[in-house]
Amino acid sequence: MKRAGSDAAVLKPAEHKSEGFKIYDTLSREISAVSASNGEFVRIYCCGPTVYRDAHVGNLRTFLLADLVQRTLAFAGVKSQLVQNITDVGHMSEDFEEDKIIAQSKLEKKDPFSVAREYEARFHQDCRALNIRAADSYPRASECIDLMIDSITKLIADGLAYQGEDGSVYFDAARFPSYGALSGNRLDALKPGHRYEFTEGGAKRFHADWALWKAAGSRSEMIWDTPWGRGFPGWHIECSAMSLKYLAGKVDLHIGGIDLRFPHHEDERAQSNSLIPGGGEAVTLWLHGEHLLFEGRKMSKSSGNVVLLSDVIARGIDPLAIRFCFMENRYRSQMDLSWSSIQAAHLTLERWRKSYQSWLKSPANLSERVNQLIAEIASAFNNDLDTPRAMISLRGIERGELEDGEKRALFEALDPLFGLDLLKQREAKRLTKEAEALLEKRKAARANRDFKLSDQVRDQLSLLGIEVRDTSEGQEWSWKIN
Ligand code: AMP
Ligand code: ZN
């Protein structure tokens, strides 16, 4: 369990009275107070990555949202518990032909579980590089199959789910009267043929029903035995089963990207509300982050404009420059990222850290106006994560008229809230002459089809902290993330 203020500032600012943390709730469409229903800690669930590829910085923008929520609560002395699932089975590709992980495992000629574990490890690396605090648990879908079987068994017993002629088990959407409340869709207005994660010719009773469990058919990997035969889980049931189990039957705040609002979260709400005793909402508040665009278009693999954190690092840019850019924009607005804004953020961060080092000559001074500024910034975070306003204040502090000791005290007090590592000197890594020569040597070895030499050089580069990959466009390299 996270302890409040576990990474408290070097200096403790004077007690500031928190007016309470509020966010925009997608279900009620209102700004609503975040609170701990058990009176002890706020229970948070954030939909995690599908581990068939590296998370792009758009995905990371959504994962950062959970971190900003946790830091805001911790700063006000409120405890929280965060669960984030790892989707390593059941998420079908856009054309619904194949499980994303299995499709990737065929491409990489590897076992699907090893593909999943590899990308999961890289997801954790990326989160660390962005100072995203670790969740309290990361349950994997493939290791929670029993939980899903229990949930589906209960839904069938209660008459909310049924097995179709094709052997798959479906949720009976018409049995959940408030279906559509989250996304604004109405069941009777949904057109037949709308995609619901799977194509299944006529086995569903109603076109809006969705698969909780999918019969294996010809699939031979990532399948399990169940009372309804061999198969694999649907993506939506995974999040209901895991959130209710790991957060003891109640989610105070559920987080995800805006594209998950429908159908993923709509279906999850129907399942979870049907699974908890006594009716009511299993999730109190739904928080959705808007999409990241890159150079004008939504960042996605299909748009071909994906930027990875390793691409940022490979350019010698501090990965926290990405965090900086995200915080300059409100989570609820689409934001357009570009290399020039990332570069500018990098330079500002460098300057702020240098400034902080120069203020160290003066003793930290927690004056009254310093406490006032801390309270104002905390209140911006509390106000539906108004991080752009908080960033403007921080800029003002660095450039403003305060004494050095006051500026020092402010940076020290606020660093745990912003998570920008303002108190450390961080050097951007540049390629050494030796590394440049080795990269050239490897390129030449590959051109000569001398793969033995190219593998040797790859190992030498690895010792220098450089990772090389061979793509259709040739050799690419990046710094390994620690
Ligand atoms: P996935 O790994 O595809 O399951 O997605 C992980 C998270 O990233 C989900 O919460 C998505 O809603 C979110 N997401 C996907 N694309 C973007 C984007 N361009 N900007 C922000 N969040 C995104
Ligand atoms: Zn989910």
pLDDT given for residue 95 in this prediction: 59
pLDDT given for residue 201 in this prediction: 56
Name beta bridge partners: 161.
Answer: 171
Q: How far is CA 369 from CA 20, 325, 376, 397, 478, in A?
A: 21, 27, 10, 11, 44
Q: How far apart are CA 34 and CA 42, in angstroms?
A: 8
Name the band, by pLDDT with cuts 50, 70 and 90, for residue 302: confident
Atom of ligand 1 nearest to the CA of 61: 21
> Taking 70 as the threshold, does the pLDDT of residue 401 lie above it?
yes
Q: How far apart are CA 400 and CA 394, in angstroms?
A: 10
Question: Which of 283 and 217 is assigned the larger pLDDT?
Answer: 283
> Taking 80 as the threshold, does the pLDDT of residue 114 lie above it?
yes
Percent of the chain with pLDDT over 70: 91
User: Which of 93, 259, 262 has most ligand 1 atoms within 8 Å of its beta carbon, as the pocket-test mutant?
Assistant: 259
**Nearest listed ligand to the Cα of residue 85:** 2
The average pLDDT across 238-261 equals 97
0.75 exceeded by pTM: yes
> Taking 90 as the threshold, does the pLDDT of residue 337 lie above it?
yes
Q: How far is the CA of 303 from the centre of ligand 1 (A)?
A: 14
| Ligand 1 pocket list (CB less than 6 A) | 47, 49-50, 58-59, 61-62, 87, 256-257, 259-260, 289, 291-292, 298-300
CB-based contact 213:226 (threshold 8 Å): yes
Q: How far is the CA of 170 from the centre of ligand 1 (A)?
A: 26
- The residues placing their C-beta within 5 Å of ligand 2, an ion, are 47, 239
The 10s digit of each residue's pLDDT in 23-71 is 999 999 999 999 999 999 999 999 999 999 999 999 999 999 999 999 9
The average pLDDT across 249-255 equals 98
Residue nearest to atom 3 of ligand 1 (CA): 50
Name the band, by pLDDT with cuts 50, 70 and 90, for residue 428: low
Q: How far is the CA of 236 from the centre of ligand 2 (A)?
A: 6
pLDDT given for residue 15 in this prediction: 47
The 10s digit of each residue's pLDDT in 123-178 is 999 999 999 999 999 999 999 999 999 999 999 999 999 999 999 999 999 999 99
> Taking 80 as the threshold, does the pLDDT of residue 284 lie above it?
yes
